[in-house]
Amino acid sequence: MDKVMIVTGGSRGIGAATCLMAAKYGYAVAVNFRSNRDAAEAVVTAIEKDGGRAIAVEADVSDEDDVVRLFNSVDEHLGPVTVLVNNAGIVDQPSKVADMSGQRISRMMAVNVVGPFLCAREAIKRMSTDQGGQGGAIINISSAASHGGGGGGAGTYVDYGASKGAIDTLTEGLAREVAAEGIRVNAVRPGVVDTEIHASGGLPDKPTDAKAHIPLGIVGQPEDIAEAVMYLAEARFTTGAFLDVDGGV
């Protein structure tokens, strides 16, 4: 069976590092992106340059029709997905809950929670041994913020933390639901990783500022999270697990 991985939000940061590493493990890779086609195509080019197979697929994971199209496109060009990495996610500017708009909260949950649910649904349809599939793995990218109140201190990202708490619950519940169908479901919970998301969330200096509070004394890199993802992709006796990759926080 060909190994096919879909990485949502695969054009930058943790997603891009995961795509590149997966190709080295022999996966054909679908690099999902929402708006930055050039970045996604650059990842595809890098994979193909090393002899791998990859495609870039535009889709907003919060849009049900887009998610269905994403998986159908992968079926057509690479074959049925065997590993789904639910990586796409957003953060907003620091804000107290009292000041958050309904639009902000709804968008946060649509991308960070509804998106992974929709993608998991489509993956299960293709992986489940009950539906003619050959099994597979779903890896959710959660966050240390899921059990830390938001990850940016008081009055910052409670909505983001809540969305990742939902991902933890999805991971644990879905792992039990589909284990007998040959599907493993696990999560990686990154700590502070040096990616662009901090700038988009209004705290561009967060990696530098956090370093002093990380027991290992270093800030995570996207490749550190990609390594954890690849372990869970191959760990055949592991499901319902949370792998904290946070430098010991």
What are the residues whose beta carbons fall under 8 Å from the beta carbon of 34, sequence distance 6 or more? 9, 58, 59, 60, 61, 88
Instruction: Give me the catalytic one of 27, 157, 160, 231.
Output: 160
Give the residue among 200, 199, 180 at the shortest CA–CA distance from 240: 180
**Residue 160 is a catalytic residue:** yes
- From CA 141, how far away is CA 88, in angstroms rounded? 8
- Rounded Cα distance, 209 and 151, in Å: 13
3-state SS class at 169: helix
Which strands form 28-33's sheet, in the order they lie side by side? Answer: 54-58, 28-33, 4-7, 83-86, 136-141, 183-190, 242-245
Amino acid type, 178: V
DSSP 97-146: GGG--HHHHHHHHIIIIIHHHHHHHHHHHHH-GGGT---EEEEEE--GGG
Question: Is 64 in contact with 120 (CB distance < 8 Å)?
Answer: no
Active site residues: 160
